[in-house]
Chain A
Amino acid sequence: MSNENHDIENPLVSQLVGLLDHTLEESPEQFGTQHWHSLLWNLHNVRPEDWDAQPAPESRTIRDIVKHIGIVFLGYENHVFGDGTRAWDDPAIDGVLPGDSPAEMISWLRETHARFRNSIARLTDSQLTELCPWGDPWTYQRIIEVVIQHPVYHIGEINYARAILQSNNDWAHMDLGRESGE
């Protein structure tokens, strides 16, 4: 983590950027088999038919949750670092919607993540404890923490839904098949 983001001037920001990066993707070269928590890794094993399937009647789909993760990246970026006008259900990036295919969704996810990431990477360590422009008295550090917690929490939900849909909801299949795709 420190190697890829190391910033001597702002080590605390770079540490948080590293944590945020790994919510999207982790390097198999660096972390061996221990990269099971990232979003792209957990989408690796989602079959096309799983994206819109409901693990139970009227429950959230994997697509619903993936879109929610991306929308939250965009919303926090705009309300903390931008003009604060973005609606909290708006998935569009410069007028472009996520698209339907897994490839289009992943491309959109990368862009949503990059927007938040690029904004926090411009902070300095001394700014982390400052209050940010937010409705509640939150520091930049706390906002970044929430945006690190949030995707990982929902990635776990995605995994549980995938496992139900694929009838392999057990410990032995937590990483089913993904090793061979490295």
Chain B
Amino acid sequence: MTDRSAINELTILFDHILEEHGFGWDHWHSLLWNLHNVRPEDWDALPVGGGRTIRELVIHIGRGWAVYGDNGLTGKPRQWGDDDLDGILPGTSPAEVERWLRAAHARYREALTKLSDHQLDDRAEAVWGEKFEIRRLIELQIQTSFYHIGEINHIRALLQGNDDWDHQDMGREDEQ
């Protein structure tokens, strides 16, 4: 055990939100993997009855990393909706969005890895004003990302007409 073992554990969990490697076919939960099969026309489309697009959810995830990382972990003020990450903006193409996502993820990750384990029980102010343990604030980022990645997958499946178990990982196995 070191004074950063718990932080390292959380960092691994946080890393795998964005991307996973080396896990055979069991890497279906990460964001980039779940965007792999999103067609260009799916990004701004709504399934019947849907109200939130894949693009909206992706931006929401990245914005959360930037805002919660800056405010919750480093104490730098960042307003919800301020998507400028040192000049990198979400853009519109999938490649531009991915570049911005990586920048947002790296920003939060950098702040996370500067913490030590004894700080995890400290309390910090969340964006909405309540104070929580820093461990809990980190957990929220892990939870909310996977939650919305699941929503992204459901939109994709509904748009592509393959919302069944057989197509949960449609076509992606072939490209490992």
Q: Which positions in A face B, CB cutoff 8 Å?
A: 1-2, 11-12, 15-16, 18-19, 22-23, 31-34, 36-37, 55-56, 58-60, 64, 68, 125, 136, 138, 141-142, 145-146, 148-150, 152-157, 159-161, 163-165, 167-171
The distance from the CB of A158 to the nearest CB of chain B, in whole angstroms, is 8
Q: Would B135 and A157 count as touching, CB distance under 8 A? A: no
Determine the distance from Cα of A114 to Cα of B150 in the docked complex, in whole angstroms: 23
Nearest-CB distance from A76 to chain B (Å)?
11
Query: Complex formed: what's the CA distance from A138 to B152 in Å?
Result: 27
B130 within 8 A of A: yes
Shortest 4 CB-CB distances between A and B: which pairs? A156-B150, A169-B51, A59-B163, A164-B49
- Please determine whether B135 and A1 come into contact, CB atoms closer than 8 angstroms: yes
CB–CB B151/A160 < 8 A: yes
Interface residues on B, range: 35 or more
CB pairs A–B below 8 angstroms (13 shown): A1-B133, A1-B139, A12-B5, A15-B9, A18-B139, A31-B132, A37-B147, A56-B158, A149-B146, A156-B147, A156-B152, A157-B151, A160-B52
B147 touches A34 (CB 8 A): no
Encode B92-106 as 1/0 by CB contact (under 8 A) with A: 000000000000000
A12 and B6: CB pair below 8 A? yes
Q: In this assembly, does B55 line the interface, its C-beta being within 8 Å of a C-beta of chain A? A: no
CB pair B153–A31 under 8 Å, yes or no, is: no
A64-B157 Cα distance, complex, nearest whole Å = 15
Q: Give the chain B neighbours of A171 by CB distance below 8 A.
A: 52
Q: Is the CB of B135 within 8 A of A145?
A: no
Q: A11 CA to B130 CA in the complex, in Å?
A: 26
Residue B140 at the chain A interface, CB threshold 8 Å: yes
**Assuming A156-B148, A171-B52, is B9 touching A16 (CB within 8 A)?**
yes
Chain A interface mostly: helix
Is B58 part of the binding interface, using a Cβ–Cβ cutoff of 8 Å?
no
Chain B at the A interface: SS class = helix
Which has the most chain A C-beta neighbours within 10 Å: B16, B26, B121?
A: B26
Q: How far is the CA of A2 from the CA of B118 in the complex (A)?
A: 12
Contacts of B12 in A (CB 8 A): 141, 145
Are B139 and A19 within 8 A (Cβ)? yes
Is B149 an interface residue when CB atoms closer than 8 A count as contact? yes
Contact call A22/B158, Cβ cutoff below 8 A: no
A2 to B119, CA, bound (A): 12
Q: When each residue 52-95 of chain B gets 1 if its CB lies under 8 Å from chain A and 0 otherwise, what string results?
A: 10000000000000000000000000000000000000000000
